[in-house]
């Protein structure tokens, strides 16, 4: 059974480490309030990232989380293939999250990542599998109840704090819009949790919701690629991404990082490898 895969990338070179773990934010009625943004932490992370941008060394970017993290990692590596500027480290495990610690304890594993891996940035997206009740001290907590939110928020908080202790910039990517209506509702709840906890910990939150929605904010399995051509962006399950969707996802996340922090981070050919990479799959 694969643990979590670490490594590889756009070219075999060292690069910026973006840890992507799936952002699970949530906040429904009764969700616990979390403290306001820690501006000092945000400024420290921004300063660290600007130092990275100014240097000449290759960037190592850690992408952390569940199957959505794998798809983000895939999109990032494809769009930066051959650049020689980045190494994307993949720490992903399918069918895991913050709820089922008996299956996989992400809070322990993220400590191992920080202790044993050199990275320049972490990018996280996680939570796609967390729409379930949890057991705590032999007590079952029904999903999305107040006790459930309290425990879940603490786990997300501990996860972010561990990454922040690395002293590197951390980005949390929110869960994308999906086709099943009940799942879509629950993903919104989880994303609200992540957004609040990220603000508390000086973690940059990136919403991906509208990237794969139509002009009315509704789910759609199709979208435009970088050249404006209409492509299938999602798999038939209405959850995961097609090869074109993964490319769009990766490019979107990197554009957000560049825009928010003033970095000149681009695919080496301006994105011209996108179609070729998809066809290669």
- Could you report the per-residue pLDDT of 138-191, keeping only the tens digit for each? 999 999 999 999 999 999 999 999 999 999 999 999 999 999 999 999 999 999
- 264 pLDDT higher than 80: no
In sequence order, the β-bridge partners of residue 241 are 234
The gap from C-alpha 140 to its chain's centroid, in whole angstroms, comes to 28
DSSP code, position 203: P
Q: What residues contact 242, with CB distance under 8 A and at least 6 apart?
A: 231, 232, 233, 234, 235
* CA nearest to 172, candidates 187, 186, 156: 156
- 266 pLDDT higher than 70: no
- How crowded is residue 5: how many other Cβ atoms within 10 Å of its Cβ? 13
Place of tokens 């895969």: 5
Element (H, E) at 90: strand 86-92
Global pTM?
Answer: 0.76
User: Does residue 74 contact residue 106 with C-beta atoms inside 8 Å?
Assistant: no
Q: Which CATH architecture has domain 15-280?
A: 3-Layer(aba) Sandwich (3.40)
Which two tokens mark 152?
């879940």
Place of tokens 């799936």: 22
How, if at all, do strands 170-174 and 22-23 pair?
parallel
Which pLDDT band, with edges at 50, 70 and 90, does 24 fall under? very low
- 19 pLDDT higher than 50: no
């Amino acid at each position: 059974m694969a643990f979590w895969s670490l490594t590889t990338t756009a070219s075999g070179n060292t690069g910026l480490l973006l840890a992507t773990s799936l952002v699970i934010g949530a906040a429904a009625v009764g969700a616990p309030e979390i403290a306001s943004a820690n501006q000092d932490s945000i400024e420290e992370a921004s300063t660290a990232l600007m130092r990275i941008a100014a240097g000449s060394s290759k960037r190592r970017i850690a992408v952390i989380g569940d199957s959505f993290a794998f798809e983000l990692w895939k999109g990032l590596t494809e769009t930066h293939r051959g650049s020689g500027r980045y190494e994307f480290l993949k720490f992903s495990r399918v069918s895991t999250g913050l709820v089922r610690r008996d299956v996989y304890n992400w809070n322990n594993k993220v400590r191992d990542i920080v202790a044993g891996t050199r990275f320049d940035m972490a990018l996280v997206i996680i939570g796609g599998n967390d729409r379930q009740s949890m057991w705590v001290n032999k007590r079952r907590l029904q999903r999305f109840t107040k006790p459930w939110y309290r425990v879940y928020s603490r786990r997300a908080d501990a996860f972010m704090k561990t990454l922040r202790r690395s002293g590197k910039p951390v980005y949390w990517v929110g869960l994308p819009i999906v086709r099943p209506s009940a799942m879509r509702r629950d993903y919104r709840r989880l994303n609200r949790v992540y957004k609040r906890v990220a603000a508390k910990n000086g973690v940059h939150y990136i919403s991906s919701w509208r990237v794969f929605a139509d002009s009315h904010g509704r789910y759609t399995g199709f979208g435009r690629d970088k050249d404006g051509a209409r492509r299938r962006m999602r798999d038939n399950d209405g959850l995961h991404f097609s090869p074109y969707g993964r490319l769009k996802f990766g490019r979107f996340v990197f554009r957000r990082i560049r825009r928010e922090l003033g970095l000149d981070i681009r695919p080496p050919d301006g994105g011209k490898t996108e179609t070729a990479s998809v066809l290669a799959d």
